[in-house]
Each structure stands twice: as C-alpha cells, then as structure tokens.
Amino acid sequence: MSRQMTRRGFLRTGAASAVLASAGAIGMTGCGAQREELTGEAKRTATLCNGCSNECGLWVNTVGGKVHTLEGNPDNPKSGGRMCGRGHGFAQMTYSADRLTQPMKRMENGDFEPISWDDAYKEIGEKLTSILAEYGPEAFAFIRDPRPNINFYGPRFAAALGSANIYTHAAACNLSLQSAYRHTIGGGFSADLANAKMVMFIGRSYADGITPADMKLFANVAVEGDCKIVIVDPRYNNSAHMADQWVPIVPGTDLALLLAMSHVLIEEELYDAKFVKEHVLGFYAFKKEVESFTPEWASEICGVDAEVIATLAREMAEAAPAAVVEPSWRAAFGCAHANSFMTGRAVAAFNALLGNYGQEGGALITSSPSIGALPADKFPTPPAAQHVRVGNEEFPLAVQGFGTNLAVLKAALDGTMKAVFFYQSNAAKGYANPAVWEEGLSKVDLVVSIDVQMSETAMLADYVLPECSYLERLEAVYTLGGKKHMVAIRDKAIDVVHPETRPADQIFRELSAACGVGEYFDFTAEELVEAQLATLGLTIDELREKGIVELPTSDFEYGKVPQFNTPSGKVELFSVTIGRAGLSPVITWEDRKVHPEEGEFYFVGGKQSIQSHTMTTSIESLMDISKTYDLERLWMNASDAARLGIAEGETVEMSSSEYTDTIAVHVTERLMPGVSMLPRTTAVRRPTFRRATVLAYARPTSFPSTWSREWGRP
C-alpha cells in the first residue's frame, strides 16, 4: 500500500505536468522561421480542430485576420478546454509552404502542372460522365475520412451520380471492431471510466492515441481515484505509467485472454445471471464453447500467466457492474488481425457477463442527435442508387456506414473500378500495403484527390484539387452523441491565405455542375448550416457565439439497460447473421493469421503522441519534437538486443513480406521479448516533403513548384 501511495504521489506531479503541457494556448504564427508581430483587430472564432478524428472544440484567436493562438473550448466534451500538441501543430498547415495552392494535373510524363479550376472541373466532368456512361455508376467510388461535412457532401455526390460506392478509411482503422460490436450489441459503446472501480484497456492507450478530455480524465482517475486500471499491451505504453497493472500479451492473442476470463466467470458462477437470462442470446452455446478455454490453455497462447488471467476475471466480477473492458480503437483489434472481429465480439460478451451495460462505471450505449429533414426544394435528395455497393456481397458484416475500402482496391486491381475520388484520405501511404494501392490506382482511369497538401495519394492522382485549410472554411454542423446530445460548429476564422484554394462545399457545388448534377448542390455552406440548425430549433448566431450548444434530446439514464439494436434485441453471443455470412455463429477461438518463424519478431504499431497518421509529417515543429526525443526508433526488448548484439541507437535492417528498410533501434524493457514495435509515422518516409524526417535518401532541398511522380517512390 505504501508503495502504491508513493507511486500515486509521484504521479500526481507527473500527470499534472502532462496535462499542463497540453493546456492553454501557444503562439502560432510565431512558430517556424518567420516570427511576425501581428497588429490589427482581435477576434475570436469557434471552430473544431482537424488534427485528428476527435474534432476537439476550439477557439481561434486572430489578430488582423491572421491566426494568433488556439485554445480548447471548455464547453466541448471532447477537448474539455484543452488541445493536444498535434492540434496546435497541425493548425500551422494553414501557413505552411507545403500547402497545395492551386489545382494540379498529372501530365503524360508523370509530372504535375497547374491547371485552372474551370479546366479541371471541365476535364474531370467529361471523363467521369463518359466513364459512367460506358461502365455504369458501379465503376465509380468515393473514399473519405468520415467527418460530418464530407459525410454530407460525399455520399450526396456519389448518389447524385447514381453510385452506391461510398467508403470511409475504416478498413484501415476500426472496421473489424465496430462491425463486431454492431452484430453483438447493436453498435459501439464507451467505458464509464469516471465512475468505474476497475477498467481493462486492451491495446488502447489514452496517452498515445490522444483525445484530450479522455486523457485528462484518465490522469485524474489514475492519480486521485480508487479505480484499478489494467493495461493489456505487448508494450508498457505511455498510459501504463499511470496504471495499476501492466499485462504484457502476445500481439493478436487478446481473444484467448478474453475467452479464458469468460471461462472463469462462468465456471465459478461469477457472472450476472439475471442480466444473462434477460438480455443475452446464445449463453449456453457460448458456455459450452468456452468450457475448454481454461486460463492454462490461454496462457500457452497469449503468454499471460494462468493465475493472472483467473485473478483478473475474479477482480472484474468483484467490481462489477462498475467494471468494464474498454472498447479499444485500432491497434489491438480494430483491423489488425484475422481474429479482430471475433476479439471484438468477445469483449462485448465479457462485458455482458459482468452485466455492466448501462450501469454506472460500466459499458454505456448512448444515442446521437439527428438533424431533421431539410426543405426538399432547396436540398433535393438524389434518388437511391440502383446497384449494390461493391464489396457488400463479399463483406456483408461490415458496418454499412463505413463500407470497406479494400473492395475498391480489389476492383481497381481487377480493372473494374474506373474512377476513384479521395477526400482527406491518404490511402496510398497511410492505409496498408502502399505498393498494392499504387498498383491498383495505376489501373484506374480517373483518380481525383482533394487535399491540402501533395500526399502520396495525390501523387498517384490525375487531378489534385486544393482545399483551403479548416481554419478558412465554414462546414455542415457537427452533432455529438453520448450522455449529452450536442451540436458544434466549424466556422471560418480567417480568409483564405491562398486565393486558389477552395472549401469542400464550393468544390462539390462546382464539380457537380460540371458533372451535370448541379441541382443537388445549389446552396452555400451558410444556407446548409442554417437549414440544418433550423431543424434543431437553433440559429447560426447562437452557435457562433458559444461554439457548442446542448440539445434536450438525450434520454440517457444510469441503471437503464439499453436497447440492443440486434435482430433479437439482446446481446448476441450466438448470431444467425454472422453464421449466414460463413463465420462461426457462436463466439469462439480463432488464431491470428501469422506467427513469427525462428529468428523473426512479432511486429506491432502504436501512435506517436505528437503525430497524426501521415498528415502531420510535413509540420516542422511536430517533426522536431519526434526527432529531439528520438520517437522514431524501432523498439526491441533488451534481451533480444543482447542476443543479437544490437546497441541502443544502432541502425538495423528490418524486413517483412511487404517491405525492407533500415532504422535505428530503441533498446528497452518496456516491450515483451520477441515483439518489435514501430511508432506510427516513422514508416512515413516522404521525399516529396521538404520537412519530412527519417529520410534515408536524398530529397529536394527546395520545394518544387511542380511534382514528379518519381519523387513519390523511395
């Protein structure tokens, strides 16, 4: 106990300074080479960060029409008055020399040349309409990062052209996990960390894959609270510092742990029998299935001691219903492994055995507000597409709202996908198998990328359309679900820095007209926001003043078992739908697809707290932090390093079935032996960007005004 007190005492200072580092505002236009005194009128505009999918609420302070500082909006539950370093850093994109400043067209020789907006629209419109006429609307696909503005414009654009092929990046993020929750409990859930007595995080690190409000809550609970926090991760991640227990696990075997913990609850009758009787379908089939999944069995597979597994299960049962396995996000079972879908089902099942759904400190299933129908004369709805979305037959269990972009890649490779548009997506570098995306896109007749910088996907496009940065545009309204229902605004804080960049609403208005379907986009962003808000009884001025407004529509109540949106209305441990799709109808064991052979390592990734995917790699200040703190090394356990005679900082060659490269090693005790870990973004080597780091090869010393396709390749 005294050790625990000391640890918590120590953490108090540690966590406090970590939070402080992300609090408040930092100067922005002062970053980088040109420090500039700002003069003129001071203004404050409500907006939402675009540095990652958390969309934190911000106040942007401008002076004389230039961005001065950013601050987290305290009323926004996602930022809780804070921003993370990435948010401050990514805002610098607005003034970055790496910005796209005009539309670009790829020429026959592969180089890019500027083209006027009018010519770009005309050429894209002609090519696209002739593709649709020849091959039908199923030969066109649209891939986007799913955020409210493009969730409005993207599907509308595809539908106006008659295509059902609309996808998100989820097949590179959390599609397996979300699909598992969809078919087991009807949708996603959140962990009520603030009120829990015990929480298990499986491959989820709030201190690495950051969202500021969650990070603050985590630090508070860890330091002040009496909640037991368990981190299950092959590495001692940055959240583990604040946790009570680190459980190292063989990557991709979390399912064995969950099944064995379920075995213990059932075998020792520690589960919530009342909840199971009333709200669970397929309990007896599951019980029979897990009979042989003892802690000893799991231990052999996942490397966690049998006694530790049994104890964790008993402790969770003891703390239930204020105990929960957190839903996790990407790395562990978002999409990484052949058994990710099954692992997600097992998480949902274990929580059901705890009877924690809807309970204080348990697993919360909440609703989201919805915007009402818009006036049909001004905002006509395009007719429904007359074909089945490409991929739906092959991947029938994928969450409908996401779809699977892998189906687009497959159709591109087999030559049936003729036109692909990307919005705020860097599939060719950021999803998986960049070489395969490059091959696939090279077979597509028309590739269009809408981005703010010349991404690797843009490098493979025929046309690149430069959007203005998020600080320079007004967008469709953002609704936030959860215990409270809210609505937030991303507003225009400054005029465009580069006159030839345009916001998405304008791009779709003009592009749709060039494609002959302009009648579906005949409104401005302001008109759209006003119409959307009118359905909620709000005005744009109200929202502009506060940045975020609470709606009275949430009916969340602790202690109320939620409605499970499954065919049976129950938690489905046995699913007819899943069985029909050719997978095991009952939750059971499945192995990960590959295991290392002699001399090989397991390989995992984890976010760098200061980087977002590929998109921050051209932000100088963020890259400086990564470099200064050597965050871009390949982690290796000290015993492995000693065996191989590798010293800290030494450069090694790493090789997989897909890729070979050299990298410096970080020798550490914070990783299980036999596992290697590469922080995300390290893998992004970009000769195209002058500020990109970790470049092993020569790169242009000055930023070129035209881009050569060759530079896109290492």
Q: CA geometry: angle at 334 spanning 331 and 339, to 5°?
A: 105
Shortest distance in whole angstroms from residue 85 CB to ligand SF4: 7
Is the Cβ of residue 49 or residue 420 nearer to ligand SF4 in the bound state?
49
**Contact string 341-380 vs ligand MGD (x = CB under 6 A):** ----------------------------------------
Exactly one of 11, 132, 210, 331 binds ligand SF4 (CB under 6 A); that residue is 210
Helix 306-319 to helix 295-302 angle (10° resolution) is 120
CA-to-CA distance for 281 and 378, rounded, in angstroms?
Answer: 46
Give Cα separations from 340 to 41, 78, 180, 236, 570 (angstroms).
Answer: 53, 27, 8, 21, 22
Binding segment for ligand SF4 (CB under 6 A), chosen from 83-91, 131-139, 142-150, 250-258, is 83-91
Binding segment for ligand SF4 (CB under 6 A), chosen from 80-88, 225-233, 252-260, 460-468, is 80-88
Instruction: Give me the numbers of helices (H) and strands (E) for the chain, helices first please.
Output: 22, 26
Exactly one of 683, 687, 699, 708 binds ligand MGD (CB under 6 A); that residue is 683
Burial class (CB in 10 A: 0-12, 13-18, 19+), 484: middle
Exactly one of 453, 512, 637, 676 binds ligand MGD (CB under 6 A); that residue is 453
Shortest distance in whole angstroms from residue 334 CB to Mo ion: 7
In the structure encoding, which two tokens stand for residue 413, read together?
């490779």
Burial class (CB in 10 A: 0-12, 13-18, 19+), 281: buried
Binding segment for ligand SF4 (CB under 6 A), chosen from 81-89, 166-174, 195-203, 300-308, is 81-89
Q: Is 636 helix (H, G, I), strand (E, B) or coil?
A: strand
Do residues 568 and 97 touch, judged by C-beta distance below 8 A? no
Exactly one of 48, 139, 150, 173 binds Mo ion (CB under 5 A); that residue is 173
Q: Per CB under 6 A, does 53 bind ligand MGD?
A: yes
Buried b (16+ CB within 10 A) or exposed e, 514-531: bbebeebbeeebeebbbb
Do residues 449 and 455 touch, judged by C-beta distance below 8 A? yes
Q: Which of 261, 258, 350, 254 is nearest to 303 (CA)?
A: 254
Q: Per CB under 6 A, does 204 bind ligand MGD?
A: yes
**Is the preceding peptide bond at 321 cis, omega within 30 degrees of 0?**
yes
Q: Per CB under 6 A, does 80 bind ligand SF4?
A: no
Q: Per CB under 6 A, does 99 bind ligand MGD?
A: no
Is the Cβ of residue 163 or residue 237 nearer to Mo ion in the bound state?
237
Q: Per CB under 6 A, does 606 bind ligand MGD?
A: yes
The DSSP annotation for 3-66 comes to HHHHHHHHHHHHHHHHHHHHBS--BSTTSSS------S-EEEEEEE--SSTT--EEEEEEETTE
Is the Cβ of residue 243 or residue 264 nearer to ligand MGD in the bound state?
243
Q: Per CB under 6 A, does 431 bind ligand MGD?
A: yes
Shortest distance in whole angstroms from residue 273 CB to ligand MGD: 29
Q: Which of 309, 350, 307 is nearest to 326 (CA)?
A: 350
Left, alpha or beta for 477 (phi > 0: left; psi -120 to 50: alpha)? Answer: beta
Instruction: List Cβ neighbours of 244 (8 Å cut-off, separation of 6 or more).
Output: 4, 228, 229, 230
Q: Per CB under 6 A, does 48 bind ligand MGD?
A: no
Q: Per CB under 6 A, does 604 bind ligand MGD?
A: yes
Is the Cβ of residue 83 or residue 258 nearer to ligand SF4 in the bound state?
83
Q: Is 105 helix (H, G, I), strand (E, B) or coil?
A: strand
Q: Per CB under 5 A, does 399 bind Mo ion?
A: no
**Contact string 147-186 vs ligand MGD (x = CB under 6 A):** ----------------------x--xxx------------
CA-to-CA distance for 673 and 670, rounded, in angstroms?
Answer: 9
Cα-Cα-Cα-Cα dihedral of 185, 190, 195, 201, to 10°? Answer: 100
Q: How many residues bind ligand SF4 (CB under 6 A)?
A: 15
Q: Between residue 31 and residue 60, which ones bind ligand SF4 under the rule CB under 6 A?
A: 49, 51-52, 54-56
Sign of CA dihedral 290, 293, 298, 300: negative
Shortest distance in whole angstroms from residue 617 CB to ligand SF4: 14
In the structure encoding, which two tokens stand for residue 500, read together?
């030839």
Q: Per CB under 6 A, does 216 bind ligand SF4?
A: no
Q: Per CB under 6 A, does 208 bind ligand MGD?
A: yes
Dmax of the chain from CA atoms? 75
Exactly one of 22, 50, 79, 359 binds ligand MGD (CB under 6 A); that residue is 50
Buried b (16+ CB within 10 A) or exposed e, 416-438: ebbbbbbbbbbbbbbbebbebbb
Binding segment for ligand SF4 (CB under 6 A), chosen from 205-213, 267-275, 414-422, 542-550, is 205-213
Amino acid at position 521, single letter: F
CA-to-CA distance for 615 and 607, rounded, in angstroms?
Answer: 13
Binding segment for ligand MGD (CB under 6 A), chosen from 48-56, 494-502, 512-520, 692-700, is 48-56
Shortest distance in whole angstroms from residue 609 CB to Mo ion: 15
Do residues 632 and 661 touch, judged by C-beta distance below 8 A? no
In the structure encoding, which two tokens stand for residue 430, read together?
């950021």
Is the Cβ of residue 279 or residue 502 nearer to ligand MGD in the bound state?
502
Exactly one of 405, 612, 676, 688 binds ligand MGD (CB under 6 A); that residue is 612
Shortest distance in whole angstroms from residue 241 CB to ligand SF4: 19
Which of ligand SF4, Mo ion, ligand MGD, none does 683 bind, CB closer than 5 to 8 A by kind?
ligand MGD
How far apart are the two ends of the chain, measured CA to CA in Å?
Answer: 54
**Contact string 218-237 vs ligand MGD (x = CB under 6 A):** --------------xxxx-x
Which of Mo ion, ligand MGD, ligand SF4, none does 606 bind, CB closer than 5 to 8 A by kind?
ligand MGD
Q: How many residues bind ligand MGD (CB under 6 A)?
A: 56
Alpha carbon 134 to chain centroid, angstroms: 36
Which of ligand SF4, Mo ion, ligand MGD, none does 252 bind, CB closer than 5 to 8 A by kind?
ligand MGD
Residue ranges that bind ligand MGD, judged by CB under 6 A: 50, 52-53, 86, 145, 169, 172-174, 202-205, 208-210, 232-235, 237, 249, 251-252, 254, 329-332, 423-426, 430-431, 450-453, 455, 467, 469-470, 604-607, 609, 611-615, 677, 680, 683
> In the complex, which residues of this chain contact Mo ion (CB under 5 A)?
173
Binding footprint of ligand SF4 on the chain (CB under 6 A): 49, 51-52, 54-56, 79, 83-84, 86-87, 210-212, 612
